[in-house]
Structure 1
Amino acid sequence: MEEDSEIEVMSEIHLGCPPAATNDPFLSRFTFSFPSNTVSVDKDGDLLLPRRNYPSPSFTVTIQHSITSNLRHVGLQVWKAQLVLSEFVLHKICTSSDFHGIVCLELGAGTGLLGILLARVAKAIFLTDHGDEILGNCAKNLELNSSLFHPHTVVNVRELNWMSDWPIQDTHALSPLFMSSYCWNKQDFELVKCASFIFAADVIYSDDLTIALFSMLRRVMSFGCDKVLYLGLEKRYNFSLDDLNVVANGYTCFRSYVKEDGIGKQEKRSFVGKRIDVTQIPHYLKDYDRGEDVELWEIKYVLRLKFQCLI
């Protein structure tokens, strides 16, 4: 397992980048273009009449990233499911007020691309990941794109190890030796209690990681008000010596946690999800191929009461 974590991998999104001759980060620019038939609404859900320069025909997000990385640092790259989930979020922003003024949390935020889009309309965002290098790169990307944010949006970058407790200890109450700019505080937890949405993309690629993810989701989605998870994944196929077959790493484990549309045996509390039709999401980004293996899911953590089974 430790040897596997040192294998260098590269996202398909970076295939057009020049060879990585050094370990220096690379800057890519992602231009989001609005289809001419996109319907826009204001924060109250009312239709906005087309007018000159609204919405902007396009805008560009600049992302600092690595071209290759080992498995422990894949958050330094941009991955395909993150782009598809970003297009879904942008489509929601353009066509509804669902994400306007929300408090939200992203697990495995990586480069921060999705959070940058949400910062155009959200009230407060917590972008979480693990490790100072990934968190520092995410913070750098927020700085590069701060001009795109709504002026009142608060964006926080926070350390979150899915193996840790939740809520984690208030590290601001500890000695300054244990503090960093990515520590949580009591005010953060009060805000997260009010969070209505959680986002995650490209976090399903190993069973161990998937188990840790859903362990954390159980705790976070039970913390405060009800929360909806939007999750993007790409099925990555490899030959398994254990199964003597080609398998999508982590995907079977993921499906063991999520009951699609509530079908199957229901536990007292369980994750219930439905797939989102990716083909109905406009292509706001033109320079990549979504392929056939990306899935988007809407997932809730549902309490099943006995009387709900009665007819």
Structure 2
Amino acid sequence: MGESKCQLQVSSEIYKETNFHSSATKNGTLLSRFSFINPIDHCDEIESKSKSSIIDADGDLIVERRRRGVIQIEHQQSTNLSLVGLQVWRGALLLADFLLHNCWRFENKRILELGSGVGLSSIAAGIFSKTDVICTDIDSGGILEVLKSNVNLNKSVMNNRAIFRIMELDFKKTIWPDDLKNAVSSANIIIAADVIYDNDITDYFVKTIERILDVNDLNKNKDKELYIALEKRYVFTLADLDTVAPCYEYFMHCIENQIRKTTHLKIEFVSIDFPQYFDYERSKDLILMKLYV
């Protein structure tokens, strides 16, 4: 990535759309409050009620009478392109909605997030998780320190049975330490949000997906599911004389190439008509996909 591209300043659109009651910190960052409806109290009601008793006729969780909660996140207002993980993006909120909606399915699964950034999606998983939540990102720009701080800041919101681990995982690195290998190997649910913003990063991300799912070893990874949330970002280009979503299109090109190459990798687009638990504007351009072998 060129120097000028790295220095391009970007800011998440969600800050202008929703009041997150942000306040300045002494570190020059913002501390924002992300309000949500807790669908169930750490999923414990699942143990005392049948699934049908909390699902309506359309198959959605009944969220009435649920208590509200708040996830507090320290983040940047704007960053250069190489440090967008220090912000909160819309895909992370969609992914957090999806996790809460499926808490009864995922509560006993080991969840690992790729590119956790400031940690909102992982912390949402921690609300209901009864096992491991593994947060990963690059060790750059203080991201891991902010991630650790945000996890500690929200311990009172999360299930006390959730075990959080924060580890470095750089898509560009091909050699992983043993503890990271073991964490990836043990994870059942892999999640990622808004990691598609640069073609070079996309190339490395797709290689990381291939490695995690290990598409050549079906027996080893048949219980792994990878969920990716992202937002199509449209730009007008003279080359196309049209408005296109180049980062999304390049990602799909890479994934489709991988599918053709292996035949084992499968992709499924997940409907995003599930309930919205967090306060934000859910864009029609949001995409949620599932990859598995």
Cross-structure match for 1:135: 144
Structure 1 residues 141 and 22: CA distance shift in structure 2, 3 A: closer
Aligned pairs for 1:225-304 (under 5 A) are 225-226=221-222, 227-240=224-237, 242-259=239-256, 266-278=260-272, 280-286=273-279, 288-300=280-292, 302=293
- Residues 147-186 of structure 1: pairs in structure 2 closer than 5 A: 147-166=156-175, 168-170=176-178, 185=179
The alignment covers a number of residue pairs equal to 272
Q: Which has the higher helix share?
A: 2
1 or 2 for the larger relative contact order (CA 8 Å, sep ≥6)? Answer: 2
Partner of 1:180: none
Q: 1:19 offset after TM fit, Å? A: 10
Q: Deviations over 1:186-208 (max 9, x none)?
A: xx533431211110000112221
8 A Cα contact 2:123 2:151, kept in partner: yes
- Aligned counterparts of 1:20 and 1:149: Cα–Cα separation in 2: 24
TM-score (norm 1): 0.77
- Give the whole-Å Cα distance in 2 for the aligned partners of 1:234 and 1:154: 30
Give the 3 Å change call, closer, same or farther, for CA 105–21 of structure 1 in structure 2: closer
Per the normalisation by structure 2, the TM-score is 0.82
Computing the radius of gyration from Cα coordinates, the structure with the larger value is 1
Q: Tell me if 1:59 matches 2:69.
A: yes
Q: Give the C-alpha shift of residue 45 in structure 1.
A: 8.4
Distance 1:274 1:60 in 2: 31
- Structure 2 CA distance for partners of 1:159 and 1:34, relative to 1, 3 Å: closer
Letter in 1 for 2:265: F
Shift of 1:259: 4.7
Aligned to 1:124: 132
Alpha-carbon RMSD: 3.2
Matched, 1:217 2:209: yes
Q: Does 1:71 align with 2:78?
A: no
Unaligned runs of 5+ in 2: 55-63
SS in 1 for 2:160: coil
Q: How far 1:290 sits from its partner (Å)?
A: 1.2
* Local SS of the residue matching 1:62: strand
Pair 1:35–1:137, CA change in 2 (3 A): closer
Unaligned runs of 5+ in 1: 171-184, 303-311
Aligned equivalent of 2:57: none
Does the residue aligned with 1:137 lie in a helix, a strand or coil?
helix
Deviations 1:129-187 (A, max 9, x none): 11241111111100100112222221111111101115x134xxxxxxxxxxxxxx3xx
